[in-house]
Amino acid sequence: MKRLAALLLLAALAMCGPFAPAQTRRPLGIAFYDLDGLYDTIPALFYDDSDHTPQGRLVWNTERYRRKISRTAAVIDSMALPLVALYGVENEAVVRDLSAACLGDYTYLHSTMNAFDGLDFALLYYGDLFRPTESEQLRDCLYIEGILRRDTVGLLLSRNPRMAERFIAEHRSERPAVRLLVMGRIPSHAARRYGLTEPLRRAERAGRGNVRYPNGSWYMRDRILADTLFEVCGADVYARRFLFDERGTGPLPTFSRDRYRGGWSFSLPVFIYVR
């Protein structure tokens, strides 16, 4: 899977790179990455994050926190994409630390979701390419609207397929001129139902996914749906060797149950290139 994913990534980049025809140059890459719970080490007041504290069950101390920040930043830097949507950050301080650790000159947008596990969405972006104009916090979703180059674009980040589909239906009805990108946990049938494309479908049909089941099969848990007004020139799972465990069988997580593994996440990022 990894070798094929790498080849497809190179093919996508070739389509989007300096050797592409003039009319297909300057595409823009966007990724979605579930960080599998990037918590700070400070006990929260309004939800129970006691496991992720130095005295907690997972012994989540400053060393482990800094390691996860640096490793996550390394993944983001290796993708080298101007927009990276994130799920699984505990608060703005975590996003600020992560943004500062990245080599890319990212600005960030964060929204507190008031979830029981304390985890939020965030967006890292290059301010010269994307300018947010509004954001709306929904149940288990975050909607960000802004100017991408010269187009008005809406980004819907989701952790709840049912709520995502409800928002897509309303958005397509009320704001059809806004180009929509939907990322995260979303129902695949929403693409057909609401006139969107699903660029990751080809990778899924080839047997690839961004989460690996214990039986060895892969599942595309996080998806990206794109407005038909976008010209898609590449999409896949971001599968690099350093993201995998020592056997090369699946993503190396931060924890396996209660055992600290020191990895990145149980899931791989997914990405898309559009014009």
Q: Give per-residue pLDDT as tens, 49-89.
A: 999 999 999 999 999 999 999 999 999 999 999 999 999 99
pLDDT of residue 3: 52
Look at residue 181 and tell me whether its pLDDT is greater than 70.
Answer: yes
As a whole number, mean pLDDT of residues 183-202 equals 94
Tell me the C-alpha distance between 114 and 65, whole Å.
22
Look at residue 20 and tell me whether its pLDDT is greater than 50.
Answer: no
Of the two residues 211 and 7, the one the predictor is more confident about is 211
DSSP lists the bridge partners of residue 29 as: 273
Tell me the C-alpha distance between 190 and 166, whole Å.
10
pLDDT of residue 165: 96
Look at residue 127 and tell me whether its pLDDT is greater than 90.
Answer: yes
Residues 6+ apart with CB under 8 A from 69: 38, 94, 97, 98, 101
Under 8 Å between Cβ of 83 and 47: no
Question: What's the whole-model pTM score?
Answer: 0.91
Look at residue 16 and tell me whether its pLDDT is greater than 80.
Answer: no
pLDDT of residue 8: 46
Tell me the C-alpha distance between 1 and 125, whole Å.
29
Q: Tokens at residue 164, please? A: 């995502």
pLDDT of residue 99: 98
As a whole number, mean pLDDT of residues 247-265 equals 95
The per-residue pLDDT of the chain, averaged, comes to: 92
As a whole number, mean pLDDT of residues 13-23 equals 46
Q: Which of 13-22, 141-150, 154-163, 254-263 has the lowest mean pLDDT?
A: 13-22
Nearest alpha-carbon partner for 123 in 160, 159, 82, 161: 82
Residues 6+ apart with CB under 8 A from 48: none
Under 8 Å between Cβ of 41 and 56: no
Nearest alpha-carbon partner for 49 in 123, 136, 120: 120
